Structures are given as C-alpha cells and as structure tokens.
Amino acid sequence: MSRFVDRGASVAAVVGVGMALTIAVSFLMVIPIDPAYIAFAPLSGLLIGWYGNQRAEPLRGSLGRIVANAAWSGAWTAFSFAVLFLAVKLFFFSLDPGYRDERQGGSLHCVAGPACVYARYLAVEDGPATLDAAGVGDVAGFTDWYWSGQIGSARLIFGSTMIFSVAVAFIVSPWAFTRLLRAFPPAAHGGPAEEGALDRLYRRLMGRVLDHGATRASVLGGWSIGGAARWQDKVAVGYPIIDVRQDGGTIAVPDLTRPYLGPSELKFDGWVGYTRRIWRDRVRWSVQLNVRDILNGDELVPVMAQPDGSIASWVAPQGRVFNLRSTFEF
C-alpha cells in the first residue's frame, strides 16, 4: 500500500494495460473495426476502475482513496488504449503498400505510405466528396486532415475511459451508500430521527457485505462481463454480363473483374454472468445471459443481383437473440 493508492490498484493497472493490448490486436490489427475498439475502451475502464478497488483493502476507505485507486488503474488503461490506437494507425499509415483485392479493382498505383492511404480514400465511393468538403487536395493536406481525426479519436478514447473508470468508484463502492444514508436521514417528527424500514433493510444487507470479507467476495466478486464483434466484408452478389468473342461468334459471360458488392456487416454480441458457491460450498452455481446482435439490425441483406445491378433476392437477418443458461456443478 502506497501513500496515495493501494497495491491492488497497481495490479489492476497492469491488467488494464494487458486488456488494452489484447483488444488492440483483435480490433485494430486482426480485424480492423475502429468503432468496436472505441466502444470497448470505456467498458474496459469501467471494469478496471471497479477491479482496482476490489483488489484494494478496505472497501470502507475514504472517498479520496477509492477515487485515487480507480483513477490510477483507469489512467494506465486509458493511456494504453489511446497510445496503442495511435501506434497502430501510424504503423499502417507509414507502410501502406496500396494492396487491394482484385474484386475491388486491384492494387493501387502509388508510393507506399501516406500517398497510398490518400489514394485509398479517393477510391472509396464517397471519398472524393468527403475530401473536397474538408478542403483536402493533396497528400500533405490529407496527412494533416487524417491525423487531426485520429488524434481526436485518441482523446475521445482516453477521456471516456477515464470518466467510466472514476465514475464506477461512486457506483459500486459501499462508501457512497453509507455516506448517502448519513447525509439524508429519515425526517424527524417532533423528536429524534427514527430509522425507517428502508434504512433497516439497507443496514441489514450492506452491513454484512461491508463487514464480512467472504460475503463481500461472493457478492461483488462473482460477476463477469464480456462482448464480441463480428464483421463481414462486402461480398459479391452478382456480376455484369459482357460479350466475349469465341470461335467466330460471341458468348455472354459474367465480368468477374467488376462484381456487384453487398454491404459489409458489423454485429455486436454481449454477455453477463454470475457465479457463486451455494449449499455450504458443495455446489458451484453459474448463470449467464448471452445477447446476440445487441443492436438488432433489421435491414434486409441482398444475396443475389441481376446483370444490370438490381437486387434479385434478399434475406432477412436473424435479429436479436437472448439465451439464458444456468448450471450447477457438484
């Protein structure tokens, strides 16, 4: 235990750095999905801010100590998320060779680095209009515009992660509840304030959580939370027809170099679970709620296109799915 933070907060900070590294590899390098990375950063700050105080003793410490634990572990987590975001962006921005799949028109003809990133933006359907609106007309201007946006995203990542990590100190800490009860006692009617039914219920429940380590661990330490992102790139749903000369005549064949592409798909899943031992520690009980496709995308997905590009067949998405599972291990 140091002068300002508990040792457990430093352990939580190391866990936060590892969490940031894992999520960066998953959603910035393996499957680049910036919105998923930006969304997971504050959620990680929430978990680390909570974990920093669960690792610390005692939970009944001063508010300053509780906030310091959450801020210390959250700051390392937020800094790691922001720095890794910029580092990965710098890596790809500096070394982009301009490679593209043949279905997208083949590789770009450019000098590796910022010029290829600029060419890649120009090749996107709405890219030229977006760059024109931003006043970008060359590689130098594009570089300034690009990094202005990335630094803004890094600031958002750092700020949201810090806010969530510190805010959780007020939410999950019993300190806040005990102080609230002291600040707002039951109203007195011609005499000393009397303890109401709600106060007695709270004291009976939270008193045991505060005073007994085993109970506190079983109530606060058995929770788990997680999430996933599933991304699918644009896929070919059809091809235009061209005439090809063969054996003195012409035949109609699909032009495989100019496919009609369906939309890309991004789905988010999540789960929350709780585990504890019951029946005198002889049975381990676990319950978990899984939610597939949290945002419940309901737009029809094209699966087949006519030679003229019009959609011939659609499929309806599965939609949001809930799955509740409870297990008992003897």
| Residues 49, 63 contacting (CB under 8 angstroms) | no
What is the structure's pLDDT at 222?
77
List the chain pLDDT tens, one digit each, 330 residues: 556 788 888 888 999 999 999 999 988 988 888 888 999 999 999 889 888 877 665 444 566 778 888 899 999 999 999 999 999 999 999 999 988 877 667 788 899 899 999 998 888 878 888 899 989 989 999 999 999 999 999 999 999 999 999 888 766 555 555 565 566 665 555 555 566 676 677 667 666 666 666 666 656 667 888 888 888 888 889 999 998 888 778 888 888 888 888 888 888 898 999 888 888 888 989 999 999 998 877 788 899 999 998 999 999 888 889 999 999 998
Let me know how long the chain is.
330
Determine the Cα–Cα distance for residues 5 and 21; give it in Å rounded to an integer: 24
Contacts of residue 230, Cβ cutoff 8 Å, sequence gap at least 6: 265, 266, 267, 268, 269
What is the structure's pLDDT at 32?
82
pTM recorded for the entire structure: 0.59
- Spell 186-220 as b/e; 16+ CB within 10 A means b: eeeeeeeeeeeeeeeebeeeeeebbeeeeebebbe
State in Å, rounded, how far the first CA of the chain is from the last one: 38
**Residue at token pair 């931003």:** 134
**Residue at token pair 């031992």:** 277
Quickly list H helices, the chain: 7-24, 34-54, 63-95, 114-123, 127-133, 139-172, 174-183, 197-211, 213-220
What is the structure's pLDDT at 81?
96
